[in-house]
Structure 1
Amino acid sequence: MAVVGAGLAGAACARALAEAGHNVTVLDKARGPGGRLATRRVEWFDAQGQAHVCGLDHGTPWFDARSAAMRQFVDAALTAGWLAAWQPRIVGGRSGGAAPVSLHYVAVPTMPTLCQRLLDAPALTRLWQHTVTAIKSAEDGSAGWQVSCAGERLPRVFDAVMLAMPPAQAAVLLRPWRVDWAEQAEATPMSPCWTLLGVSEAPGRPAAWDMALPDSGPLARIVQHRARPGRAMAPADQAHWVAHARVQWSQAHLEHSPAGVQAQLQEALAQVLGQPLRWHHVTVHRWRYALTQPDPARDLPACWWDATQGLGVCGDFLGGYGVEGAWLSGQALAASVLEGVV
């Protein structure tokens, strides 16, 4: 079986299928698993020419566990050391002041670790930097799928293909086989997010919070990375930052140059802090497909599975919002497959 996409939905689906005894090949266009559970390795040199390295979680900052199934998974992952609980000090937002402390979870030591652990199974083959461009019926007329990556067909035939990718990208692969799914996927937009990340000198007036939720301006969330569990503590003379722009701002600036976006977000961060920062290293990342937009008027299932064709789809646009929705959708697809194995 093939799973296209190694974010949490794909990793959860692949792991469940592998544990049930199936040989699973996971393909992703990135250099490793994680999807939006992402950590950027940042390198810079100080004035003396000494090299420094740190990791900044520039994708999903945390996740929660609301459903009983997700809580059970989180409890097991905490026990295994894959996750850590995080209770950040939060200011801002609608409260206008200190917000109640909420319990969140982060993967340790990096956010992609959760997907890496799930995909660490003997029956799993992992193919990175493989961009799937087409899925086609086997040419010899037998049941199954042939998968093409950048125009080159993989040598084996798969009994089933599961797509775990943003809906706009999944729609392209689905259209020849399930036009109804493709149309529903195209009608399910995902919002973008520009993200500022970097390392600065410690500000003259340290912020007494771990996360800020500004009421106005381009930034929706600012995280002081030193406060996150399982991460190396920043030296006293440094501050590590990740700041996510608002959806509307990101949409309006989606195709703007990274340099221009970076300058505006640096200024926005300085305004929130009430002081400018002296940067050692700073950059931006554009998440074109960052956030699902749940539509209560559309009653989508937790996954799509066509047992006749051996074709399935999972992702948080089906399973619900965010990380938990992605995991639930991946689990649901695996369960659907196992109920009637092709």
Structure 2
Amino acid sequence: MDSGVPMRKVAVIGSGIAGAVCASSLARSGFSVTIFESARGPGGRMSQRRESADGKELLFDHGAPFFTVRETATLSGLLQEWERKGLIAEWKGKFGSFDCHTRQFLCRDQEVPDKKYVGVPGMNSICKALCDEAGVESRFGVGIAQMDWLEKDDSWSLIGIDGQGLGNFDGMVASDKNLVSSRVTAVTGRTPPLDLNFCSHLANKVKEIPVNPCFAVMLAFSEPLSSIPFVGLNFVNSKVLNWAHCENSKPGRSTSSERWVLHSSKEYAESIIDQFGLRKPSPELLARVAEDLLRELADAGLDLPKPFFVKAHRWGSAFPVAGMAPEEKCLWDSNRKLAICGDFCVSPNVEGAITSGMVAASKITSILSRM
């Protein structure tokens, strides 16, 4: 940018992989970037959960267990950089499925399977590194209550949930679907922070973002689960379980305990939400969920030792059903320098989120660099 011209300021709401990749790209293009994240740390569904029991620290990737990349031509540069920095590694091991009717394991590895990448030492490692890059200021524990476009100033104004002003910005990136989803009202009673009535074509697309709810159950055992021959597996013919993986089998993880993560089926999660609503689940409800998923494992005939740690977590809206803008890769309003990005734009996976964040950054860069 030209010397003497004030540095353009961009706000990125959400520090999941889409927001983190976008913020990093914008900062490398010379913008002053501030990330606002309501959680205590970065990652979104790539967060790592830190627990403890029996004097042991227990770490779980309780959201996205890994990611794959099929459009390698587009993302190969990022992958190479992250591998070189030690932020990611390939997760090698046997993957398969378990049929709960026949009680049989089925190997599903293909001749040339997609490489499975994990963050090291946790899935959130990538987001942590990107949020800490030069030119990026990360403000965690800061929820956004209102995002206003100021026509006379040609800028965005942000107000936190505590009512305090958070500053004005030349460009805005919304990487958290909850900023625009009506689901926010059902969960919190508040209206979504970003009112898109000024832009009907965007408002219609994001009015209802379909998602698959999921419950995750984190388990720790004193001995290996020798009855399961895979490090990750899908469940077939189960109305309760969808996925399970061995956390300590991943590269860069502690092997001091045997740790597993179970993901419920969307049907099971929907049935629980239908009964108890979208409000924050009580400890009693989460304990019931954990019991249900463990019982399903036991009923399937898997010989499991008793875990010394059990805890459930609800992912209410982290897993979108499909991308709503697969061609455009992000939603964009050039007049207001507003980009909406995330896996819900491209494809419902980590690769889709990365791609969407990169495209959002290019949109913002293109227009602000000309101003």
TM-score normalized by the length of structure 2:
0.83
1:245 aligns with 2:244: no
Alignment-derived partner of residue 310 in structure 2: 282
After superposition, give the CA deviation of every residue in 1:95-117 in whole Å (9 maximum; x if it has no partner): 95112163200000011110111
Pairing 1:40–2:49 present: yes
Q: Which runs of 5+ in 2 are unaligned?
A: 1-9, 183-191, 277-284
> Residue in 2 aligned with 1:174?
195
| Separation (CA, whole Å) in 1 of partners of 2:288 and 2:118 | 31
Aligned runs of 1:172-211 on 2, under 5 Å? 172=192, 173-202=194-223, 205-211=226-232
How far 1:279 moved relative to its partner?
Answer: 2.0
AA in 1 matched with 2:167: R
Identity %: 25
Tell me the equivalent position of 1:123.
Answer: 135
State how 1:202-241 maps to structure 2 within 5 Å: 202=223, 205-217=226-238, 218-235=240-257, 239-241=258-260
Return the match for 1:65 from 69, 79, 85: 69
Counterparts in 2 of 1:273 and 1:160: CA distance versus 1, 3 Å: farther
C-alpha distance in 1 between matches for 2:294 and 2:195: 40
Aligned to 2:11: 2
Contact 2:160 2:166 (C-alpha < 8 Å) held by counterparts: no
Q: Describe the shift of the 1:211–1:135 C-alpha distance in structure 2 as closer, same or farther (beyond 3 A).
A: same
Which stretch shifts more, 198-207 or 285-294? 198-207
- The one of 157, 162, 172 aligned to 2:173: 162
Q: Aligned partners of 2:179, 2:363: CA distance in 1, in Å? A: 23
Structure 2 residue matching 1:316: 3-state secondary structure: coil
Q: Which amino acid aligns with 1:153?
A: Q
Deviation at residue 198 of structure 1 after TM alignment: 1.8
Residue 25 of structure 1 aligns to a residue whose secondary structure is: strand
Counterparts of 2:77 and 2:266, CA distance in 1:
32
Q: How does 1:317-336 map to 2 (within 5 A)?
A: 317-336=344-363
In structure 2, the CA distance between the partners of 1:196 and 1:204, relative to structure 1 (3 Å rule), is closer
Corresponding residue for 1:48?
Answer: none
Contact 2:323–2:347, Cα closer than 8 Å, also in 1 = no
- Give the secondary structure class of the aligned counterpart of 1:92: strand
Partner of 1:52: 56
Unpaired segments ≥5 residues, structure 1? 46-50
Structure 1 position 269, deviation (Å): 2.5
Root-mean-square deviation (CA, aligned residues, Å) is: 2.2
Shift of 1:182: 2.5
Q: 1:102-134 CA deviation, whole Å, 9 max, x = no partner? A: 320000001111011112222111110111111
Is the CA contact 2:147–2:156 (under 8 Å) kept in the aligned structure 1? yes
| Local SS of the residue matching 1:62 | coil
Q: Distance in 1 between matches of 2:305 and 2:150?
A: 57
For 2:35, the equivalent position in structure 1 comes to 26
Deviating more after overlay: 88-97 vs 53-62: 88-97
Q: TM-score, normalised by structure 1?
A: 0.90
Q: 1:129 to 1:179 in 2, by over 3 A?
A: farther
Aligned partner of residue 263 in structure 1, secondary structure = helix
Q: Give 2:94's aligned residue.
A: 89
Distance between the aligned counterparts of 2:199 and 2:313, measured in 1?
33
Structure 2 residue matching 1:319: 3-state secondary structure = coil
Which secondary structure state, in structure 1, belongs to the residue aligned with residue 51 of structure 2? strand
DSSP-derived class of the 2:44 partner: coil
Query: Structure 1 156/130 Cα, relative in aligned 2: closer, same or farther at 3 Å?
Result: same
Rate the CA distance shift 1:96–1:251 in 2: closer, same or farther, 3 A: same
Give the aligned partner of residue 112 of structure 1: 124
The code of the aligned residue for 2:19 comes to: G
Other structure's SS at 1:147 match: strand
Counterpart-to-counterpart distance in 2, 1:223 and 1:32: 23
User: What is the Cα deviation at residue 25 of structure 1?
Assistant: 0.5
- Alignment check: 8 A CA contact 2:23 2:131 kept: yes
Q: Which amino acid aligns with 1:312?
A: A
Question: Could you report, residue by residue, the CA deviation over 1:246-303 in whole angstroms, capped at 9, with x for unpaired residues?
Answer: 112211122542122111011123334622431211110100113221269x766211
Which amino acid is the alignment partner of residue 38 of structure 1? S
1:78 corresponds to 2:80 = no
Q: Secondary structure at the match of 2:20?
A: helix
Q: 1:161, 1:310 within 8 Å by CA — same for their partners in 2?
A: yes
The one-letter code sitting in structure 2 at the alignment partner of 1:14 is A
Q: Whole-Å Cα distance in 1 between the matches of residues 128 and 323 of structure 2?
A: 31
Contact 1:167 1:188 in 2 (8 A): no
Q: CA–CA distance in 2 between the matches of 1:98 and 1:276? A: 20
Q: Secondary structure of 2:24's match?
A: helix
